[in-house]
Amino acid sequence: MDETIAQTRSITKERKNLFQKWLEKEGSAYGFLSMYALMFIIFIVVPVLVAILLSFTVFDTIQLPKFNGLSNYIILLTQDDIFMKYVLPNTIKFSVIVGPGGYVVAFFLAWVLAQLPKVSRSILALILYSPSMTSGVTISAVWLTFFSGDQNGYFNSLLLGMSLIQEPVQWLKSPEYLMTIMIIVTLWGSMGVGFLAMLAGILEINPELYEAGSLDGISNRFQEIIYITIPSMKPQMLFGAVMAIVSTFQAGAIGVTLSGGNPTPQYAGQLIVNHIEDFGFLRYEMGYAAAVSVTLLLMVLLFARLANKLFGSEE
């Protein structure tokens, strides 16, 4: 009897020791991580999990969510005309031009800036970066005035003055112009962190590589970019690509901001983010909105995969 008690005691003691050892060894690391981990779980992990769970349900925020299997996804792919006819094509058009397009422009601008001496480079980098720090609100205040639909709008007045148009155009209310304006405005504000990272990456490249390259027969700058610059800054290229993808999808609200309402005129500027908002916050079909959210997250992941294929280190 006494023996067994002693035995259990020694076992618990051993366990305690193990735990103590672990605590001594790794406890402080987890202590340092704890605050971030907590916020990360509450505001990133749980929302994603909840979105995934809700996407399999019908939920109107009043009654409890009711499981309905894959029907949200099936409806999204087969019956949601607006999604298939407007939202998806719009999103693809918008994200291909703003994402890869903006990314190539950012790289090119970064490369050109790197050819200049420090002082003028810093000033020009500041100018290119500064639109990205204007908030969505400031953007709308500026661009709404530019593209205002009456003759007082700057763009209208300019075109009227040159007699290119006879009467003011309702730029932001016209389905045929809205998407183009959205793309211009988003590109304007897209030289952000990724652009700075690529600029820093180009500047970090060891100049001897270029000398070696010219000995190996590289004869023009284009070859230099393809064979030396990009391969030596792949990590920054990948970081820039990820930032470009995220900010592209994050910029989805721009059409609603510019046109002044959700849905946008004839769904011309409707992006997947607006579709989520439309179903979630306007129609309270949370389950369906969650399915669209999950689709969006999958799209981001897919694009990032692609970027990884292009620039990831081969392991």
Partner 1 sequence: MIQKLSKRFSPYQNRGINPKGFHVSQIKFYIILAPVVAFMLLPIIFIFSHAFKPPDELFAYPPKFFVTNPTFNNFTDLFSKMSNSGVPVSRYLFNSILITIVTVGASIVVSSTAAYALSKKNFKLKKTLFAINTVALMFVPIAVAIPRFLIVENLSLMDTFLVHILPGLAMPVGLFLIKQFIDGIPDEVVEAAQIDGASDLLIYSRIIIPMIKPAIATIAILTFQATWNNAEISTLYINSESLKTFAFYLTTLTSTAAGTNVVAGQGIAAAASLIMFLPNLIIFIFLQSQVMSTMSHSGLK
Shortest separation between residue 212's beta carbon and partner 1, angstroms: 12
- Does position 231 bind partner 1 by CB under 8 A? no
Segment near partner 1 (CB under 8 A); pick from 7-15, 95-103, 175-183, 196-204 = 196-204
Q: Could you say which residues in the range 77-106 bind partner 1, by CB under 8 A?
A: none
Q: How many residues bind partner 1 (CB under 8 A)?
A: 108
Q: Which of 94, 171, 239, 267 binds partner 1 (CB under 8 A)?
A: 239
Segment near partner 1 (CB under 8 A); pick from 3-11, 163-171, 173-181, 194-202 = 194-202
- Does position 73 bind partner 1 by CB under 8 A? no
Q: Is the dihedral of CA 304, 77, 97, 172 positive or negative?
A: negative
Residue 177 or 188: the one with the smaller Cβ distance to partner 1 is 188
Shortest separation between residue 292's beta carbon and partner 1, angstroms: 9
- Does position 56 bind partner 1 by CB under 8 A? no
Shortest separation between residue 8's beta carbon and partner 1, angstroms: 28
Q: Could you say which residues in the range 19-48 bind partner 1, by CB under 8 A?
A: 25-26, 28-30, 32-33, 35-37, 39-40, 42-44, 46-48
Residue 16 or 283: the one with the smaller Cβ distance to partner 1 is 283
Q: Which of 4, 63, 78, 115 binds partner 1 (CB under 8 A)?
A: 115
Residues whose CB falls within 8 Å of the CB of residue 79, separated by 6 or more in sequence, listed in order: none
Residue 8 or 204: the one with the smaller Cβ distance to partner 1 is 204
Residues whose CB falls within 8 Å of the CB of residue 236, separated by 6 or more in sequence, listed in order: 197, 198, 200, 201, 202
- Does position 11 bind partner 1 by CB under 8 A? no
- Does position 296 bind partner 1 by CB under 8 A? yes
Segment near partner 1 (CB under 8 A); pick from 3-11, 83-91, 93-101, 235-243 = 235-243
Q: DSSP characters for the chain?
A: -HHHHHHHHHHHHHHHHHHHHHIIIIIHHHHHHHHHHHHHIIIIIHHHHHHHHHTTEE--SSSPPEE-TTHHHHHHHHT-HHIIIIIHHHHHHHHHIIIIIHHHHHHHHHHHHHTS-HHHHHHHHHHHHHHHHS-HHHHHHHHHHHT-SSTTSHHHHHHHHTTS-SS---GGG-HHHHHHHHHHHHHHT--SHHHHHHHHHHHHS-HHHHHHHHHTT--SHHHHIIIIIHHHTHHHHHHHHHHHHHHHHHGGGHHHHHHSSSSPGGGTT--HHHHHHIIIIIS--HHHHHHHHHHHHHHHHHHHHHHHHHHSPP-
Shortest separation between residue 293's beta carbon and partner 1, angstroms: 5
- Does position 245 bind partner 1 by CB under 8 A? yes
- Does position 76 bind partner 1 by CB under 8 A? no
Q: Could you say which residues in the range 118-137 bind partner 1, by CB under 8 A?
A: 118, 120-122, 124-131, 133-137
